[in-house]
Structure 1
């Protein structure tokens, strides 16, 4: 099929269910070969967005282009997509083998060796009826059907739900391999370490709205660094005024304990400014730690507002700017 540099183009996408707005004027572009993570709390609109991408739901308004085409009633396009919904529905009477045979009839498998390797690496049970399988073993079959025809685009909604940690690691390897082959991945996950290790960029959504769009590194940088310092002497009173004046973007507190002063909080000013301030004191201990992705975006989940990385103000890392 005809290819474009943009695998997904979502413009002003809105979905309403009666009075409830599930997705509110969402704007995102995803490059071909990019791994993009959509994160947010339950009810943020992630699954609804993915279902619209595969024409399982129709938008109230806005436009979607998937691999350069409109997904509406586009049977040919679906052969280039691997989709794993948040709830992988199956035919209980079929075995895993029978279900995969059914999916292969819809999306033919060109590389049988790759198909077999997915089964082996994920440890899928194919000879038992689906109804007898655990949630995790059903999910393995869901992953195989999404990956096995090596589609141009993978749309994966909570793909590791029910999987044990070892299989989650295998999934992460499969994800990175897919990206290495030039496949595009659009996924959501509550296990943000997966997003952190695999995604080129992340979109943060809440209540159907996009609050931030950035690379993982940019989101972590914008969240600042967690700081802990121990200074000799009881100097909290004078230090507080210096912190407010010299490190205005940071949220640091100073308190006295025993014969020392403890400084803690989030550093958002340059480290050089911190060192300049502390250089006038006797520093017993100093620790700076960059937050992981979960800590970096937690404030979006809590209050739904963007203080450091509003949507559109943080550009995509190593992939140019994607206007919103």
Structure 2
């Protein structure tokens, strides 16, 4: 008789089993100390175009054309450490959640088709088991980021939200055109599943804002121009009332869920989590560059 593998446990359900916040003596596989606890760091927020034009950026930059027509505004913020207090946060209340001790049969993350064949079903199962009310999941893309020179995609150091209400609805029409009218009448969410590939994360950790502290007017729709269509993302204005967090020393077995949109109006202000990579001033010299994968999902129900 075989024994089923244990399910990964959401961090907010591990109360009583989580050890206290790790100390600064923790080290990574290089023997370098892992930064822990609250930290002040500079984050890049939105600065409007100087000519007053509608903001846009090109997914694939055009020759001789600036990739974006808006600027950045740097602000120092205090980021609290989620490690040890994960149970305080949830998708419905804060638009992000944490799951620990998640195993995977995919280890290379070099071949997109293998990722879709092996890793996608694991992510779908994770979401169905851990997102309240979810009854259907469609994974529509993923992005791998690596810090080394020559990488196709590096960590993004601009505060943003991947979707807006407009682009969330457009995603359904794009990926499920025959069912879109019916699906748009029910609850639908877009949730990103983020994890490192070479944890524990030392350089360019991910910062996330508590959505309940973010005002609607902080979010600026930006045209996201693809070669064949135009989508929409949101840039974020700095607001001192925003509360920021990071999850120190994220391991390969950790999963951070980031909700980008929720059609349920009862959790409207808790339906979008601004996030960005940031430079931790405590990162030890010589620390390995962060590698990560983010899978984006339409979640119904």
Larger RCO: Structure 1 or Structure 2 (Cα < 8 Å, ≥ 6 residues apart)?
2
Does TM, normalized by the shorter one, top 0.5? Answer: no
TM-score range, shorter chain: under 0.3
More helix by share: 1
Q: TM-score, normalised by structure 1?
A: 0.23
